[in-house]
Amino acid sequence: MVSPYVYAPGTRLSLAELGAARLDGDVVEVGEAFMPADAVESPEIRAASLRPLVAQGLALTHESAAWVHGALSEPPLRHSVQRCTERRRNHVLDPRLRYRDLQLPASETVRLGGMPVSNRVRTLCDLLRADAAAGDGPRAGAVAMIGMFPDILADARVALACGGPLPHKRRALAWLQSWPVRTT
């Protein structure tokens, strides 16, 4: 179901009409679409706003998922997507997307705004492993996820520890083990 609060150019209104409505203050930009200026920007609206960009069978991951979940205030310049179906892609995707071909398990996704999105635990684990691959400490996305959802720390530790062999898993797990646990 398409969200009644998300206006993609060319669906209900043209890009010119949406641009005029934005100038009038009736709508604001969110992701790749627009929403009413008086609506609350929720994870469902953020996810639905990326529908024009993300093809069927792809899930939002990494920084894109962190933005959808509300941990990041601004969307990334290139959205991260991952295949969530058994069928592989055989055509070129939009250059605004960073595509990963490994299948994302359905158990590690949630549907928000009609779009598959990696769940919070998987998003944190992916961000930490990507930061470890870059040789950096945990960057803004991972820190924001932990700050926004501190209750996922224990689940992320278990997911990484019990998961199969993954690149940069040890370093990400070491970071998680050293992270202070909030008890209140």
- Residue in 4, 10, 123 with CA at minimum distance from that of residue 64: 123
Distance CA 26, CA 39 (A): 10
Segment 116-169, tens digit of pLDDT: 999 999 999 999 999 999 987 899 999 999 999 999 999 999 999 998 899 999
> Is a pLDDT exceeding 60 seen at residue 177?
yes
Does the model's pTM come out above 0.75? yes
* 34: Cα separation from own chain's centroid: 18
